[in-house]
Amino acid sequence: MAGTNPIELQKALKNAHYPTDKQHLVEVARKNRASNDVVEKISDLKKDRFDSPADVQEAVFRSK
């Protein structure tokens, strides 16, 4: 997913409450009008539970 960066991910997940699951993060990203690439990247994560924004960021950027 070329072009996705941590700031774009943070904007997509604005107002997400943690701990949370992957489906909630996808819904939040869609509500925040994130790009389809960002939504897809979150949907494709192997992990299902996240304790913090840093936890999501690590999963997204480590999975490259």
User: What is the tens place of the pLDDT at every residue in 8-61?
Assistant: 999 999 999 999 999 999 999 999 999 999 999 999 999 999 999 999 999 999
Residue 62 has pLDDT above 70, yes or no: yes
How far is it, in rounded angstroms, from Cα 32 to Cα 1?
A: 19
Rounded CA separation 36/51 (Å): 23
Residue-level pLDDT at 64:
52
Do the Cβ atoms of 45 and 59 come closer than 8 Å?
A: yes
- Supply φ then ψ for residue 51, to 5 degrees: -95, -15
Q: Is the pTM value of this prediction over 0.95?
A: no
Q: Using CA atoms, how far apart are residues 38 and 1, in angstroms rounded to an integer?
A: 8
